[in-house]
Structure 1
């Protein structure tokens, strides 16, 4: 008994020391542990070709208590400080995008919403398990028949005296079968059998009676092999104490949660793009082609400079999120900004992996190479938590709505007065000084969203430059974004609309025309 008490006391002292040490020291311990398990005791390039992670790898990494960053101080954590969470994601993604996403799922999609919206009665035991037992948690929103159409989810709940009873199906939840805790989303069933419009969130503990979640299938996901995904059957009974309490409506709570999560994508992108940049620079400096270093070729310089510019843009996004996306902020209404951050940074992540693979050549076209693997690992980031095509269209819809409300049709004048774009508006006046058609087809909404996402990103880069960030890097980041805006503008102003030919098989065999 005394030995048990001693171990518990020692553990509490270790946790307390971890929560008070400077963040750089805290992250240094994580870096050391990743170096040991990924490079000294094992080979990360071999792990990346297998499903899951060897148990000792996750155990050793979790021993550093990385998820304490997402837990409030009053519950023994480091305080759920946004800058620290972004730094954690950056540190992990330099070595493993899958590990960083694992941390992101736990923090942005479980710990942060629980910290903000759960009752003390629910929070205390959950956070205790995270700190002492190194458990994990995730979020289930997506359903097999209602992917991006979350508001029409069919998972339902009814209530009795002490419990909420949930039933339905969820899929593509990261950490399927691993996590002990889940935030489950559902709509209340009325007496008539209909489902209410609003959405509620419930904390499910799969270790408790009546709360087990059945995994019906594990998916053979392309990339991110270390993270299990699958289809889940929900038939659980949740104590009434474990329902999240929205500040207004459940839909607004979901928006606050998702927008905050999207604002944290740059943390995962930061370490990944940094790694791609280092890999590209090191390879090109060492590789000799035609008697000179690959680094000295002009096209190579073009690719490397864009990688460096992406590094700068991501740095600006991280600084912006650190200041503006904390748990004390209500992010319900920042859809334009959050969608821009998520979509632009994930595009840049994919471009970075593609570019380094091109620079390295055949050697990178393997699962065991960080760049080639990075192509498939970064690709789903453009899809989950909102497909980028949808998010870009939503950016445009949000901007058009604001312009209509202001009775402003000139895009430059709107940008000049909008806090998300005012810093960059003047240098882009020549491109944006025109009246915008409010009746845009969907494909033009996507193109305009791509453009405005990069203008919003440019504003963030300017603001980081104002703070004293490396001027040459700032100039490179602004120039790259300017080039992309120019290219996208050319497409936006072109009015041709290619349509699908339904009976394309008719007169379309080239072989007939070679006789």
Structure 2
């Protein structure tokens, strides 16, 4: 659903220029320092990137799903660290509050998330609960006017920077998903601590870490929606949206790699002609273009269905599965087109692929069931 085609085009053009003229030139700096420069964070705040999907009533742009994925196609064409830093505010860090939060919770937290005053984070995965998210063990026991949380969450995006955490915890002994509730836990709450930042194969500048709860008292007012037992359903709705978004990011990354591979193929000469003239190279480029187009069509279709209010659990999972697998194949072909240069950092392609490694774009083959991954 595109509400205003002219405004959408202007927004996409602005983001595209920002990515190519500002973010791409700073990728090496982020990779070397494992941090996003403060001046870039401030610029992202100024142009509204933290509130792309948060409704205008709370200070955001209120993008529809289709508008959002079109922006993601552009944001995916640079280091995933930039998208990851703003992504939780636009996705899993805010959508649960937006979908199921009380009026008071929305009014208090969403405006701060929209301007980047707060960084949001989403705490579902645990050491023994990954794809089988319903088996989580973190508990929340009511004690007077508060809940006491105990447990550990793992691989939590933006955990070191976050100001609030959307936490899934078990409030009853009921088996499976029915006993899971969702809470907003603020940074600095006694009993909440952050583990050491994970060292990953790639994605330098995008941080994950354990989030640990030890007798952490959370006010009853921070129970999302004011009701117990609906946290898992909320999480699944959040993840459906997140899967479409991550699929779009994977498409953006694939577009960047194909563009770089084509440029190299046009410049690199062997046997007296550019290697782009060789049929095998042409085939790899053509296969990549066709798969990117197919993935883009899937993502746009899933986005439009969600904008229509339809259940997109299957479509979102299919789109993410296909798009991320496609991105891996394009990465492999891009390295082959570069030949030996594909392994050398100064040529760029290896660096970009390394930055993407282990992200939702390069996660490897996985089932496309509802709980197969937690992107966004």
- TM superposition score normalised by structure 2: 0.87
- Partner SS, residue 218 of structure 1: coil
Q: Which residue of 2 aligns with 1:323?
A: 304
Q: Which residue of 1 aligns with 2:350?
A: 372
The 2-side partners of 1:367 and 1:187 are apart by 46
The 1-side partners of 2:277 and 2:163 are apart by 52
Q: Which residue of 2 aligns with 1:343?
A: 321
Q: Is the contact made by 1:89 and 1:103 (CA closer than 8 Å) also made in structure 2?
A: no
Query: Cα distance 1:318–1:330, how it changes in 2: closer, same or farther (>3 A)?
Result: closer
The 2-side partners of 1:256 and 1:221 are apart by 28
Structure 2: segments with no counterpart, 5+ residues: 371-376
**Alpha-carbon shift at residue 323 of structure 1 (Å):** 0.5
Deviations 1:131-188 (A, max 9, x none): 3454321211111233323211111001134322211111101112111121111101
- Partner SS, residue 239 of structure 2: helix
**Alpha-carbon shift at residue 368 of structure 1 (Å):** 5.0
Within a 5 Å distance, the mapping from 1:177-188 to structure 2 comes to: 177-188=160-171
Q: Which residue of 1 aligns with 2:7?
A: 22
The 2-side partners of 1:170 and 1:369 are apart by 38
Q: Which structure carries more helix by proportion?
A: 1
Query: Cα distance 1:315–1:163, how it changes in 2: closer, same or farther (>3 A)?
Result: same
Q: 327, 331, 346: which is aligned to 1:353? A: 331
Q: 292, 296, 313: which is aligned to 2:273? A: 292
Query: Cα distance 1:159–1:329, how it changes in 2: closer, same or farther (>3 A)?
Result: farther
Query: Cα distance 1:383–1:288, how it changes in 2: closer, same or farther (>3 A)?
Result: closer
The 1-side partners of 2:22 and 2:342 are apart by 23
The 2-side partners of 1:21 and 1:135 are apart by 31
Q: Is the contact made by 1:143 and 1:171 (CA closer than 8 Å) also made in structure 2?
A: yes
**Alpha-carbon shift at residue 80 of structure 1 (Å):** 4.0
Question: Of the two, which has the highest radius of gyration?
Answer: 1
- Partner SS, residue 167 of structure 1: strand
Q: Is the contact made by 2:50 and 2:86 (CA closer than 8 Å) also made in structure 1?
A: yes
Q: 283, 287, 296: which is aligned to 1:302? A: 283
Q: 241, 257, 282: which is aligned to 1:260? A: 241
Q: Is the contact made by 2:171 and 2:229 (CA closer than 8 Å) also made in structure 1?
A: no
Q: Which residue of 1 aligns with 2:147?
A: 164
Within a 5 Å distance, the mapping from 1:131-142 to structure 2 comes to: 131-142=114-125
Q: Which residue of 2 aligns with 1:66?
A: 49
Within a 5 Å distance, the mapping from 1:58-457 to structure 2 comes to: 58-189=41-172, 197-207=178-188, 210=189, 213-235=192-214, 236-245=216-225, 249-326=230-307, 328-331=309-312, 334=313, 336-367=314-345, 369-381=347-359, 388-389=365-366, 391-392=367-368, 394=369
Give the alignment's Cα RMSD to 1 decimal: 3.1
- Partner SS, residue 147 of structure 2: strand
**Alpha-carbon shift at residue 87 of structure 1 (Å):** 2.2
**Alpha-carbon shift at residue 247 of structure 1 (Å):** 11
Q: Is the contact made by 1:200 and 1:250 (CA closer than 8 Å) also made in structure 2?
A: yes
The 1-side partners of 2:325 and 2:252 are apart by 15
Q: 45, 49, 53: which is aligned to 2:36? A: 53
Q: Which residue of 1 aligns with 2:373?
A: none
**Alpha-carbon shift at residue 22 of structure 1 (Å):** 1.7
**Alpha-carbon shift at residue 102 of structure 1 (Å):** 3.3
Q: Is the contact made by 2:69 and 2:244 (CA closer than 8 Å) also made in structure 1?
A: no
Q: Which structure carries more strand by proportion?
A: 2
- TM superposition score normalised by structure 1: 0.65
- Partner SS, residue 168 of structure 2: strand
Q: Is the contact made by 2:160 and 2:194 (CA closer than 8 Å) also made in structure 1?
A: yes
- Partner SS, residue 35 of structure 2: coil
The 2-side partners of 1:25 and 1:82 are apart by 17
The 1-side partners of 2:5 and 2:258 are apart by 33
Deviations 1:61-90 (A, max 9, x none): 222111222111222322241122212222
The 1-side partners of 2:91 and 2:172 are apart by 28
Q: Is the contact made by 1:364 and 1:371 (CA closer than 8 Å) also made in structure 2?
A: yes
Q: Which residue of 2 aligns with 1:431?
A: none
Bigger relative contact order, structure 1 or 2 (CA pairs below 8 A, ≥6 apart):
2
Q: Is the contact made by 1:49 and 1:368 (CA closer than 8 Å) also made in structure 2?
A: no
Q: How many residues align?
A: 367
